[in-house]
Amino acid sequence: MGASSAAILGCAGTTLTREEEEFFKDVKPWGFILFKRNIADPNQVRALTAALRETVGRPDAPIRVARLQPPHWRTYPPGRAYGELVANDPLVAREVTRLGARLIAHDLHSLGINVDCVPVLDVPDPQGHEIIGDRAYGDTPEQVATLGRAAAEGLLAGGVLPIIKHIPGHGRAMADSHLELPVVKAKLAELDARDFAPFRVLSDMPMAMTAHVVYTAIDRKNPATTSKKVIKKIIRDSMGFDGLLMSDDLSMKALSGDFKQRAKDSLSAGCDVVLHCNGDMAEMKAVMSGVGRMSKEARRRAQAVMNRLVKVSEPLDIAEARARFDAAFDGKYA
């Protein structure tokens, strides 16, 4: 653990190139992320996850995936669909949300994937940008927190680690941080009561991903990812989050400066690790030029993260669980 670099990286294709193997062996990122470009079929994914872990010499190295699609994997509902079940019975919605996450964990665990970037805890604002969209579980902090907790518990029960995002809250942003830097001008009391509330409820989760969003009430210049004020005063102190904090993707256009500077700024602000997703080798080398080994505190948090992985998944009758899940949505996602 102590030898790991403070980074999570991607790769270009469905197998590792010789250059990628040598690069990952050299820089030893803490974890990896997979996207659609890296996914072909179950056997290929299992081989790729094994190859990635071999490069860093850690059989449990965190690997998360952003895209699993038919025909090899089923489609699951977006967060909003679970929230809409509340109209019938809040307890049913919570049970089905947990069940959906437990089934996702089953799918991921069988592939050697032990992290999922769920739950999204952003509370959407009616005037905000649509980027959060149907990923939000509902329109109130209470609903988002309740169903977010259910999703996180379902993943953990199945041997997969959840990541809460986008801390401290992206729902009020008026722009897409993939394309530009959102600036939120709401007062601190408003942010605290609505945007920050679900993250405070789930502050015990093992990992969180930052928002590339400026909150002028806290830091007029820097987005949360590179803001010492936001990370220390809000995320660590006010919310009480002591888990592993990762940046959102450094290649998003909300951030300024070159990749080396983005990485350095994120880590110096208080992120434990930085995330770079697209697998571009030149960009990854630039990122890693600004990344050192994980700090003592980051190593402590990383070990605590891995300790949250259950040794044996919660028992589950998959056929019965899928039938119950499909019935809840009237077969819409079967």
Catalytic residue annotation? 178, 248
313 in Cβ contact with 105 (< 8 Å): yes
The DSSP code for 5 is E
Cα atoms in the Cβ-side hemisphere of radius 13 Å centred on 86: 16
- Backbone phi and psi for residue 293, each to the nearest 5 degrees, phi listed first: -70, 160
Token duo for residue 133: 């969209």
Q: Of 4, 6, 3, whose CA–CA distance to 268 is shortest?
A: 6
Q: Which amino acid is at 38?
A: N
End-to-end CA distance of the chain: 40
Quickly list H helices, the chain. Answer: 18-27, 42-56, 79-84, 90-109, 141-157, 188-190, 197-201, 228-229, 259-269, 281-288, 296-307, 318-328
Q: What is the DSSP string of 311-328?
A: SSPPP--HHHHHHHHHHH
| Cis-peptide, bond into residue 70, ω within 30° of zero | no
| Distance of alpha carbon 174 from alpha carbon 178, whole angstroms | 12
Q: Identify the CA nearest to 268 among candidates 236, 304, 292.
A: 292
Instruction: Tell me whether the omega of the peptide bond preceding residue 276 falls within 30 degrees of 0, making it cis.
Output: no
